[in-house]
Chains A and B, each alone.
Chain A
Amino acid sequence: SQTIHQWPATLVQPVGSPLSLECTVEGTSNPNLYWYRQAAGRGLQLLFYSIGIDQISSEVPQNLSASRPQDRQFILSSKKLLLSDSGFYLCAWRYPSGGGFLGEAFFGQGTRLTVV
């Protein structure tokens, strides 16, 4: 069966420090991968989307970047965190789209990031 791992679960980082959040998927090949951020009182905001190794699409210009060095690994990074980067970060995967209905995405447990 497929599983998704995301870590760390919580993180407190000072302003200006770097960030690295990691997400891995097991039990499937060539998944589509996502990074979302959920701010209090707001819906999930798509940050990055990837259809394959080194194929990353950015949805929102910001202080963050993403990389996909391996098929089932997705990393969210920042060189210098801002206070506004605080939030709940979720990684998700889904089966590759075959051109038909866009099926459901499966989420990791999330990382609560507090920038202080």
Chain B
Amino acid sequence: EDKVVQSPLSLVVHEGDTVTLNCSYEVTNFRSLLWYKQEKKAPTFLFMLTSSGIEKKSGRLSSILDKKELFSILNITATQTGDSAIYLCVGASGTYKYIFGTGTRLKVLA
């Protein structure tokens, strides 16, 4: 059965800290690994990773994929209170299926 496992489940840090969110996956017919940020309602897209070892970067956020170890990490540097959210890791399979992890709930304290 396809699965995506994220750790930690929740995390509380102070502004300015750096955090690393982990994602391991077992996805048949794997196509890509995606990260989303969910604050109150709709998840918003952060990154899509398709190749091992190539870092994707957007401001203070970065992510990398290891297709051999079936693993991805999402790094957030110099965290801000606006980074507080649930971060979702998603494995894309085949032609249509997305397998979601349960998410990591991040809380950044001022």
Is A27 engaged at the interface, CB distance under 8 Å to the other chain?
no
Question: Is the beta-carbon distance between A97 and B48 smaller than 8 angstroms?
Answer: no
Contact B45 A106 (CB under 8 A): yes
Query: B97 — nearest CB in chain A belongs to which residue?
Result: A46
Chain B positions 14-56 with a Cβ under 8 Å from a chain A Cβ: 31-32, 34, 41-45, 48, 50
- Kindly provide the distance from the CB of B88 to the nearest chain A CB, expressed in whole angstroms: 7
Give the residues from 62 to 116 in chain A that come closer than 8 angstroms, CB to CB, to chain B: 90, 97, 99, 101-110
Instruction: Please determine whether A43 and B103 come into contact, CB atoms closer than 8 angstroms.
Output: yes
Interface size class of A (residues with CB under 8 A): 20 to 34
Nearest-Cβ distance from residue B32 to partner chain A, whole angstroms = 5
Tell me if B102 and A43 are in contact (CB < 8 A).
Answer: yes
Nearest CB in chain B: distance from A104 CB, A: 4
Q: Which residues on B sit within 8 Å (CB–CB) of A108?
A: 42
> How far is the CB of A22 from the nearest CB of chain B, in Å?
16
CB-CB under 8 A from A43, the residues of chain B are: 4, 88, 99-103
Q: State in angstroms the CA–CA spacing of A82 and B62 once bound together.
A: 42
Which residues in chain B, 35-84, are within 8 Å of chain A measured between CB atoms? Answer: 41-45, 48, 50
A60–B101 Cα gap in the complex (Å)?
A: 17
Q: Choose among A51, A102, A105 the residue that contacts B94 (Cβ–Cβ < 8 A).
A: A102
Q: Contact at A51–B48, with CB atoms within 8 Å?
A: no
The answer to whether A44 and B100 have CB atoms under 8 Å apart is yes
A61: which B residues are within 8 A, CB to CB? none
Q: How far is the CA of A60 from the CA of B43 in the complex (A)?
A: 22
CB distance from A102 to the nearest CB of B (A): 4
Does B92 count as interface, using CB distance less than 8 angstroms? yes
CB closest chain-B residue, reference A43: B100
- The CB with the most chain A CB atoms within 10 A, among B94, B96, B97, B103, is that of B96
Closest to B45 in A: A104
B41 to chain A, nearest CB (A): 5
Q: How far is the CA of A48 from the CA of B100 in the complex (A)?
A: 15
Chain B interface (Cβ within 8 Å of chain A)?
Answer: 4, 31-32, 34, 41-45, 48, 50, 88, 92-103
